[in-house]
Structure 1
Amino acid sequence: MPRTQRNDNFIDKSFTVMADIILKILPANKKAKEAFVYYRDGMSAQADGEYAEALDNYYEALKLEEDPYDRSYVLYNIGLIHASNGEHDRALEYYYQAIELNPRHPSAFNNIAVIYHYLGEKAKEADKSEEAEAFYDKAAEYWKQAIQQAPNNYIEAQNWLKTTGRSQMDVFF
């Protein structure tokens, strides 16, 4: 049984009904609509912490989805799952693929920066200051790109960039 038929709370049921209506009136081909159903089920499973099921749905969506913009969001969500599982290298791969398809994806740039910052913190804890600085520099570059695209977001990143001297940009909001 598809996940969307198992949802038992009002919000999920409402979202499913609305998504089904949109799918019926949307001028998209059958393949694109099927890809969306897998994507929607993947998001639902991900929200429930059912990461294996979410990944299965996202991989099916990737097989069907042809639109680069939509594919970028599927790839981004796969990256989120890998990041939440501590699989940083795999997460980075998917975030990079998402950006390749959609270079205006500030969340992907932000998440790449977050991973590099985390790796910098781990290197710093291990007394590897050169390595830490290299990771921090990478984090700074990706945060700058995220902030350029979404200037009112990532306030903590903006503050970190300023306080570490990695950016002379003014806060944009």
Structure 2
Amino acid sequence: MPRSQRNDNFIDKTFTVIADILLKVLPTSKREKEAFTYYRDGMSAQAEGEYAEALQNYYEALRLEIDPYDRSYILYNIGLIHTSNGEHTKALDFYYQALERNPCLPQALNNIAVIYHYRGEKAIEVGDAQASESLFDKAAEYWREAIRLAPTNYIEAQNWLKITGRLVD
């Protein structure tokens, strides 16, 4: 049974009903509707921590979806799952793919920065100051771009950039 037919959560059910109505009235192809259904089911599974199921749905949505903008969000969500699983290299790959299709995706830029910052912290732990500085500089680069796109977001990142003197190039 598709996930959309077994949601127990009121908000998920409401979203599903509204999404189904929109799919019926909007002039979209069968393929686009099917892609959206898989995407929606992926989001629902992801919200419940069912990452394997979410990935299956996202990959199917990716197979069907042809619009680059819509594909960017599918790729972004796949990146989120890999980040949650600690698979940072895979996550970066998906965030970069999302940005190739939609360069105005500040949340992908932020998540890339977070991974580089995390790696910078790990480099400090092993005593590699040179690597940590390089990784922190990379994080700063992505945070500056995310903040440029969404100036009122990422306040902690803005503070970190100010404190470390990396706010301006």
Question: TM-score when scaled to structure 1?
Answer: 0.96
User: Which shifted more, 61-70 or 9-18?
Assistant: 9-18
Q: How far does residue 112 in structure 1 lie from its aligned partner after superposition? A: 0.1
Q: SS in structure 1 opposite 2:63? A: helix
Aligned AA for 1:104?
Answer: C
1:92: which partner in 2? Answer: 92
Q: Is 1:54 matched up with 2:54?
A: yes
Q: SS in structure 1 opposite 2:8? A: coil
Q: SS in structure 2 opposite 1:168? A: coil
After superposition, what is the alpha-carbon deviation per residue over 1:44-69, rounded to whole angstroms, capped at 9, x for unaligned? Answer: 00000000000000000000000000
Question: TM-score when scaled to structure 2?
Answer: 0.98
Q: How far apart in 1 are the matches of 2:152 and 2:11?
A: 28
Q: What runs of 5+ residues in structure 2 fail to find an aligned partner?
A: none
Q: How far apart in 1 are the matches of 2:158 and 2:81?
A: 25
1:126: which partner in 2? Answer: 126
Q: Which runs of 4+ in 1 moved over 3 A?
A: none
C-alpha RMSD over aligned residues: 0.8
Q: How far apart in 2 are the matches of 1:132 and 1:10?
A: 45
Q: Is 1:13 matched up with 2:48?
A: no
1:35: which partner in 2? Answer: 35
Aligned AA for 2:147?
Answer: I
Q: SS in structure 1 opposite 2:167? A: coil
Aligned AA for 1:103?
Answer: P
1:155: which partner in 2? Answer: 155
Q: Is 1:140 matched up with 2:140?
A: yes
Instruction: Tell me the number of residue pairs that the alignment of Structure 1 and Structure 2 aligns.
Output: 169
Q: How far does residue 9 in structure 1 lie from its aligned partner after superposition? A: 2.0
Aligned AA for 1:68?
Answer: P
Q: How far apart in 2 are the matches of 1:12 and 1:81?
A: 19
Q: What runs of 5+ residues in structure 1 fail to find an aligned partner?
A: none
Q: How far does residue 70 in structure 1 lie from its aligned partner after superposition? A: 0.2
2:165: which partner in 1? Answer: 165
Q: How far apart in 2 are the matches of 1:70 and 1:38?
A: 12
After superposition, what is the alpha-carbon deviation per residue over 1:4-48, rounded to whole angstroms, capped at 9, x for unaligned? Answer: 111012111111111100100111111011000000000000000
Identity fraction in percent = 72
After superposition, what is the alpha-carbon deviation per residue over 1:84-132, rounded to whole angstroms, capped at 9, x for unaligned? Answer: 0000000000000000000000000000000000000000011110011
